[in-house]
Structure 1
Amino acid sequence: MKTIGYAAHSSDAHMVPYHFERRALRSNDVAIEILYSGICHSDLHTVNGDWGPQSYPLVPGHEIIGRVLEVGADVKHYKVGDSVAVGCMVDSCKQCRQCDNHEEQYCENGMTPTYGAPDRISGDITQGGYSKHIVVREEFVLSVPETLDMSRAAPILCAGITTYSPLRTWNVTKGTRVGVVGLGGLGHMGVKIAAAMGAEVTVISRSNAKEKEAKSSGATSLLVSTDKEAMKKAASSFDLILDTVPVKHNVDAYTRLLDVDGTLVIVGQIGPLEEPMTIPLVTGRRRIAGSLIGGIKETQEVLDFCAEHDIHPECKIINANEINEAFKHLAKGDVAHRFVIDMASMSE
Structure 2
Amino acid sequence: MTDYEFQGWLGEDEKSVQGHMKWGKFEPKKWEEDDVDIEISHCGICGSDLHQLSSGWGPTPYPCVVGHEIIGRAVKVGKNVKHVKVGDRVGVGAQARSCMQSSCAECSSGHESHCGVALVNTYGSVYPNGEGKSYGGYADYNRTNGHFVLPIPKALSSAEAAPMLCGGITVFSPLKQNGCGPGKTVGIVGVGGLGHFGVLFAKALGADRVVGISRKGDKRDDVLKLGADEYIATGEDKGWEKKHKRTLDLIVCTVSSEKMPLTHYLGLLKVKGTFIQVGAPDGGNLPPINAFTLIGNGIKVGGSAIGSPAEIAEMLQLAADKKVHPWIQERSLKDANQAIVDLADGKARYRYVLVNEKNAQRHANL
Report the TM-score when normalising by structure 2. Answer: 0.91
Inter-partner Cα distance in structure 2 for 1:324 and 1:167 = 33
- The one-letter amino acid paired with 1:323 is A
Could you tell me how far 1:9 is from its partner in structure 2? 0.5
1:11 and 1:24 mapped to 2: Cα distance?
A: 27
Deviation, structure 1 residue 218: 1.1
- Gaps of at least 5 residues in structure 1 are none
**279-288 or 253-262, larger mean C-alpha shift:** 279-288
Percent identity over paired residues: 38
Match in the other structure for 1:6: 9
Letter in 2 for 1:10: D
Cα distance in 2 between the residues matched to 1:157 and 1:73: 25
Cα RMSD for the two superposed structures: 1.6
Match of 2:264 in 1: 253
1:74 alignment partner in structure 2: 80
Distance in 2 (CA, whole Å) between partners of 1:329 and 1:286 is 38
Shift of 1:208: 2.0
Question: 1:148-176: per-residue Cα shift (whole Å, max 9, x none)?
Answer: 01122101000110000001111111121
Post-superposition Cα deviations, 1:133-159, rounded to whole Å, max 9, x if no partner, equal 111111111110000011221010001
1:222 and 2:231 aligned: yes
2:277 matched to 1:269? no
Contact 1:319 1:345 survives alignment (8 Å): no
Give the C-alpha shift of residue 94 in structure 1: 0.7
Deviation at 1:197, TM superposition (A): 1.2
1:212 match: secondary structure: helix
Alpha-carbon distance between aligned partners in 2 of 1:228 and 1:132, rounded to the nearest angstrom: 50
Deviation at 1:78, TM superposition (A): 1.2
Structure 2 counterpart of 1:180: 188
Indicate the larger mover: 156-165 or 115-124.
Answer: 115-124
Aligned residue pair count: 347
Say if 1:148 and 1:212 are closer, same or farther in 2 by CA, change over 3 A: same
Task: Please state if 1:332 is matched with 2:345.
Answer: yes
CA contact (8 A) 1:224 1:231 kept: no
Which sections of structure 2, spanning at least 5 residues, go unmatched? 360-366
Check conservation: 1:64, 1:85, Cα contact below 8 A: yes
1:184-333 map, 5 Å = 184-199=192-207, 200-226=209-235, 227-250=237-260, 251-270=262-281, 271-333=284-346
CA shift, 1:243, in A, is 0.6
| Whole-angstrom CA distance in 1 between matches of 2:326 and 2:243 | 32
> Which AA in structure 2 matches 1:257?
L
SS at match of 1:195: helix
The ranges of structure 1 where at least 4 consecutive aligned residues each deviate by more than 4 angstroms after the TM superposition are none
1:112 match = 120
| 2:285 partner letter | P
Instruction: Say whether 1:153 aligns with 2:161.
Output: yes
Residue 24 (structure 1) shift: 5.5
Find the partner of 2:59 among 53, 61, 83: 53
The residue type equivalent to 2:275 in the other structure is L
The alpha-carbon deviation at position 40 of structure 1 amounts to: 0.3
The worse-fitting range, judged by mean Cα deviation, of 70-79 and 34-43 is 70-79
Q: Which amino acid aligns with 2:11?
A: A
Give the direction of change, closer, same or farther, for the CA distance of 1:6–1:150 in structure 2 (3 Å limit): same
User: Which amino acid letter does the alignment assign opposite residue 206 of structure 2?
Assistant: G
Aligned to 2:98: 92
Moved more, 278-287 or 235-244: 278-287
> 3-state SS of the aligned residue for 1:228?
coil
